[in-house]
Amino acid sequence: MMTVSQRLFHLLLFAYPREFRHEYGPQMAQLFRDCYREQTNQSPIGLGVLWLHTVSDLFVSAPREHLERLRRENAGMSNPQRVVLTLGTCLAIIVVAFLLLSYGRSHQVTSILFFGKALDALVTAGVVGNLIIFLLRLTRLDPVKTALWTMLLVNSILFVLAWALGSRVDPQINLPGMLIAYVVSFLFWFALHWLWAKSKGDAELAFEQRK
Amino acid sequence: MTKQVEPESLLPLRPSVFHILLALSDGDLHGYGIMQEVAEHTAGQIKLGPGTLYGTIKRLLSGKLIVEVDERPDPEMDDERRRYYRLTDFGQKVLKAEVQRISRMVSVAQRKRLIAKPRT
């Protein structure tokens, strides 16, 4: 019959990646049972020592297995140069758009202010959307689909928020202008991610994932 | 054609890898056997947990340093669900290379009088 400790250990096995758990879970449970028998026979504090040892091992080994799985499955993210380049490009675009907008507002440059709303949407959606995309890229999700749905959702939510909050401050708010701004922002960021995904590294990654 | 991996290219070994290979140098062992052997030859200083032990075993299997074996040292005494592991020839070479590396370090430490030379 399984003891409470053994049942608890079975639950802790869920901290490991699925493939690892399937391959070695029964062996690890067997090992825990052996250790449990040994420790509880040895001393009254044996069970405490066993749990301390097991939990400290779990904190080290489970993240290691997850990291290894991520590295294996998402070879594109293991290339540090590519990650830095991608992050740098997005950051540079956001900074340039932000500086351009600030300059246009402080100096009342009509030609820049004409695109003011689009630049505003580009910066806001760029920061939020790209952050989500980079976090999602750690998973096995398709990079193009991830960019498409993230940018679509982020731009839609930001548009609704801007419209809802903006209409309270200014009842004469230019709704079509704002809508165009977020459509432009969506198209710009999605096109950028699509082009990036079509470049060599992601093409190789997509091929690896289809295999 | 697969590229031949030089044993020296895998050095230095992680302590958990070294101790598991050392434990298997005497013969086939299952997970608990490896754990006990490691605890014994390190005087209890290294006690491998389930995650570290099987994570290392997984990497050693994929690196072909060890293999899983079906034979049982004593089938009557044993639980058939247990998996036994064996050191491969390549694993043996890697272990020997690591032992030689460590012994060179020990020689250096002896020359520098950090530890005493064993009496002959």
pLDDT digits (tens, 9 = 90+) for B81-104: 789 999 999 999 999 999 999 999
| Residues 51 through 80 of chain A touching chain B, CB cutoff 8 Å | 53-54, 56-58, 60-62, 64-65
Q: In chain A, which ranges are continuous DSSP H helix?
A: 4-12, 18-42, 46-73, 80-106, 110-114, 116-136, 143-169, 175-198, 200-210
Please give the residue of chain A at the shortest CA–CA distance from B32: A31
Is A28–B52 a contact, with Cβ atoms under 8 angstroms apart? no
Please list every residue in chain A whose beta carbon sits closer than 8 Å to the beta carbon of residue B47. Answer: 53
Whether A39 has a pLDDT exceeding 50, the answer reads yes
Domain count, chain A: 2
Task: For residues A52 and A86, state if they share a domain.
Answer: no
Give me the residue from B35, B55, B58 closest to A31, CB to CB. Answer: B35
Task: For residues A115 and A175, state if they share a domain.
Answer: yes
Is A30–B55 a contact, with Cβ atoms under 8 angstroms apart? no
Please list every residue in chain B whose beta carbon sits closer than 8 Å to the beta carbon of residue A58. Answer: 49, 51
DSSP labels for B31-67?
HHHHHHHHHHHTTTS----HHHHHHHHHHHHHTTSEE
Whether A93 has a pLDDT exceeding 70, the answer reads yes
* Best A31, A58, A72 residue to mutate vs chain B (most B CBs within 10 Å): A31
Interface membership of A12 toward B (CB under 8 Å): no
Q: CB–CB of A125/A133 below 8 Å?
A: no
Please list every residue in chain B whose beta carbon sits closer than 8 Å to the beta carbon of residue A20. Answer: 54-55, 58
Please list every residue in chain A whose beta carbon sits closer than 8 Å to the beta carbon of residue B60. Answer: none
Please say whether the dihedral angle defined by the alpha carbons of residues A144, A148, A149 and A153, taken in this order, is positive or negative.
positive
| Residues of chain B above pLDDT 90, percent | 70
Domain annotation covers residue A70: no
Task: For residues A105 and A178, state if they share a domain.
Answer: yes
Q: Which structural domain range is residue A127 located in?
A: 75-211
| Residues of chain A above pLDDT 90, percent | 23
Domain annotation covers residue A69: no
Phi, psi (degrees; rounded to nearest 5) at B62? -70, -25
Task: For residues A168 and A80, state if they share a domain.
Answer: yes
Task: For residues A191 and A113, state if they share a domain.
Answer: yes
Distance from CA of A54 to the nearest CA of B (A): 6
In terms of pTM, does the model score above 0.90? Answer: no
Task: Give the pLDDT score at A138.
Answer: 64
Task: For residues A10 and A81, state if they share a domain.
Answer: no
Confidence of residue A74 (pLDDT cuts 50, 70, 90): low
B16-51 residue pLDDT tens: 999 999 999 999 999 999 999 999 999 989 889 999
Q: CB–CB of A24/B54 below 8 Å?
A: yes
Task: For residues A51 and A143, state if they share a domain.
Answer: no
ipTM > 0.90, yes or no: no
